[in-house]
A and B are shown apart, each in its own frame.
Chain A
Amino acid sequence: MTGYLIRRVIQTIIVTIIVTIITFVLLHLVPGGEVRAVLGIRASKAEIAADSRLWGFDQPLYVQYWKWLWQLMHGNFGFDIKYSAPVSTLLWNAFPRTLVLAFIGTAVGLLIGVPLGILQAVRRYTAVDHVITGIGFIGYGSPTFFVGLMLVNWFAVDLHIFPAFAPQSTSIIGILSDPVALILPVATYAFVAFALWSRFMRSSVLDNIVQDYVRTARAKGASEKRVLWGHIFRNSLITIVTLLGLQLPVIIGGSIFIEVVFNYPGMGLLFFNSALNTDIQMMLAITVLTTILTILGNLLADIGYAMLDPRVRYS
C-alpha cells in the first residue's frame, strides 16, 4: 500500500508540473507578449522595454517560469486590473459556488442515470432499453447551452413555473435556500449527464454479467436479486467511480455553459467574462486552479479506491 501511495503521489507531482508548463506556455502565446497585451497596440518600443524590465519579462524563460511557479505555490495568482482585486480572492469566492452547483447537478444525473443503466442492462434489447437509449442519445447529442435555454424558454418564459435565473446570492447558504431557482440549472446538468451515466452503467453491467464470479455466485445458489445487487452492481460501480474521476474536467468545463445561460456567479461565468475582456491572466489562473484541484481529487479518489479494492494496488 505504501509503495502504491508513493508511486501515485510522484505521478501526481509530475502531472502537476507538466500542467503548469502547458499553462505557462499558453501565457506566452499572447501575440506580442503580455506587456503588449497590457499596454495595448499603440505602446512604443521604449515603453515596452521599460515595462518588460519592471515586470521581469526580459529575464530568461526558465527564470520567469520558476518565479511564476513560486508565486503560484503561495496561492498568489496576481492582481486583476479589471476587477481591481487579487485574482485569488475572486477565485476563492467563485469556486465554491461552481462546486455546489456542479456537485448537485452531477449527483442528480448519477441518481437518475445509474438505476436506468441497470434497468437497461437487465431488460436489454427490449422496448424499455430502446426508449431509454433513445432519450439518452438526445441528451447526449444536445449541446448543454441548447438544453438550458430550451428549459428556460418552456418553463420560465412560457409557463412561468421556475425562475429563469439561478440563485444570485453570493453565499452558499443563500444559494441553497433558494431551491426553486436551482431546479432549471440542475435539470440541465442532469439531462446532459444522465445519458452518459446510463450508457456507462449499462455496458459496465453487461461486461460484468459474463464474468466468472457471476457464474460462481449463480452456481452456489445465490438468488438473482443477490447476484445483481450484491455482485454485479458493486463491481459495476467501480467502473463508474473511475469514469467519474476522468469526467471531472469535463464537468467543471461544462459548468461555463450552465453558468452563462443561468447567469450564475461561479467560476464559469467569471471565466466567460474574462474571455470577453481578453483577461488572459484570470483565464489562466482559473484553468490552473481547476486543473490542480481535479488532479488532487483524482489522487484522493485513487487512494480511497486502493484501500477498498486490493487489486488496484498491484496492477
Chain B
Amino acid sequence: MAMTPHPEIAADFGSSGTLLAPPDVAGGPQAGEKPRSMFKRGWEVFAENRLALVGLGFVIFVLLFSFVGPMIYKTQQVSVTLADAYCTPSAQHLLGCDNLGYDVVGRLMQGGQSSLEVGLAAAFISCLFGSIYGAVSGFAGGLVDAFMMRIVDAVLSIPFIFVLIILAVLFHPSRLAFIGFIAATYWPQPARLVRGETLSLRTREYVAAVKVAGGRSSRAVLRHIMPNAIGTIIVQATFAVADAIIILSSLGFLGFGVQLPQTDWGSMLSQGLSFLTLGYWWLIYPAGIIIILTVVAFNFIGDALRDAFETRLQRR
C-alpha cells in the first residue's frame, strides 16, 4: 500500500515537502487557479503517460476490431469449410485459414468477442461484488469483519485455476457461465483492497462527521467511503480484465475453454500450437500476439490510472 506523507507534516515543510516527496511530484496549489475536479486532474496525469494512451488506443482498436470488424470484413464462422483448411495467407484470407477452414482474421474477431466479453464482464461483476463486500466488512469491523475476511482468506488460498477446471469439467460452461465462474474466484482480491481502504477511511474526520451529524452508516459507506475508494476499485478492475483474459485463454489451452463453433483467443492459440512444427505461423503468432498486447494494454491503463488517482502526483 502506498504511503503518502501525512498532510500536516507535509504542510510543515511548505511546498509539499521536497524532503518527503519523490522527485517527480509537482508543486503545491498555484495562486489564483480554480480547483478542478478529481477526475479532470486525474485525466491530466493519465494523458501525460504516453504508454497509457497507447494502451487505451489499442483497447479501443481491439474492441472495434472484434465487435465492428465482422460487419466490414465478412467471413463464414459457423460451418466448417474443409477445402480451405490450412490455406496460406492471401488477398482472400489475410491471415490464412485454420485446420477447419475458418478464416483466421474472422476467427480472431469471433475469439475477441468471447475473450473481451468474458474479461470485461467478469472484471465488472467481481469488482462490484468484491467492493461492496470489502466496504461492508471494513465498515462493520469487529467479529463480522473478522469472519467475512476469513472467507476471503479461504477463497484466496485455493488455487483458483483448479476450481475453474473442476467447474469447467462438471458443467461444460457457456460464455455466460465462464463470466460467473471467473468472477466467483476473483472477487476476494478487490474485496481485500477495498476493505483495507475502508479501514483507513472510516477513521477520517469527514466520515466521523457523518456519524456526529446523525447520518446513517449506509450514507457514510455510499457517499463518503465508496467515492474515496473508487480509484482503488477502478484500478483493480482494469487489472482484473487483463487477468480474466489470461485465465480464459489458459483454460482454452487445457481444452476447457469456450466450445466450438465459438472460440476464444486461448483456444485458437492452443489449437494453432499443435501445428507448431509444421510451420503454420499464422495459426500461432496472431492469436498469441493479440492476447499479449491486449493484456499489456490493460496493464498500461491500470498503471496510469493508479498514478492518476494517487493524489500526491496530481497538480492541485
Contact = CB atoms under 8 A, between A and B. Distances in A.
A14 to B, nearest CB: 5
A291 interface: yes
Interface string B286-298: 0010011111100
Interface string A1-16: 0000000000100111
Contact of A210 (B5, B155, B250): B5
Q: Which residue of A19, A145, A298 has the most chain B CB atoms within 10 A of its CB atom?
A: A145
Contacts of B253: 143, 145-146, 257
Interface in A190-244: 203, 206-207, 209-212, 215
Contacts of A111: none
A275 B150 contact: no
Contact of A15 (B150, B168, B250, B269): B150
B160 A11 contact: no
User: What is the predominant secondary structure among interface residues of chain A facing chain B?
Assistant: helix
Interface stretch (B20-28, B32-40, B200-208, B216-224): B20-28
A140 B19 contact: no
Given A157-B277, A275-B256, A143 B266 contact: yes
Contacts of B154: 15-16, 18-19, 22
B238 to A, nearest CB: 13
Contacts of A283: 162, 165-166, 169
A272 B18 CA distance: 55
A172 interface: no
Nearest to A260: B254
B276 interface: yes
A15 B153 contact: yes
A271 interface: yes
Nearest to B247: A143
A298 B157 CA distance: 9
A153 interface: yes
A137 B158 CA distance: 26
Contacts of B305: none
Contacts of A294: 157, 159
A254 B161 contact: yes
A6 B266 CA distance: 45
A30 B292 CA distance: 35
Contacts of B291: 141-143, 146
Interface stretch (A58-66, A67-75, A82-90, A245-253): A245-253
B31 interface: no
Contacts of A254: 161
Most buried by B among A142, A210, A257: A210
Contacts of B293: 141
Contacts of B299: 137, 140-141
Contacts of B250: 143-145, 257
B281 to A, nearest CB: 10
A252 B157 CA distance: 10
Contact of B276 (A16, A157, A286, A298): A157
B5 A287 contact: no
A161 interface: no
Contacts of A275: 165-166, 168-169, 254, 256
B71 to A, nearest CB: 28
A143 B249 contact: yes
A295 interface: yes
Interface string A247-283: 0111011101100100000000001100110101001
B40 to A, nearest CB: 24
Contacts of B19: 215
Nearest to B295: A141
B91 interface: no
B310 to A, nearest CB: 11
A253 B150 contact: no
A254 B156 CA distance: 14
Interface of B: 2-3, 5, 19-22, 24, 147, 150-151, 153-163, 165-171, 242, 246, 249-250, 253-256, 266, 269-270, 273, 276-277, 288, 291-296, 299-300
23 contacts: A14-B147, A14-B150, A15-B150, A19-B158, A26-B163, A26-B166, A138-B292, A140-B295, A145-B250, A149-B273, A157-B277, A207-B2, A210-B5, A249-B158, A249-B159, A253-B162, A256-B165, A257-B254, A275-B168, A280-B169, A283-B169, A290-B162, A291-B158
Given A23-B158, A141-B242, A250-B160, 4 more contacts: A137-B300, A141-B299, A143-B246, A146-B291
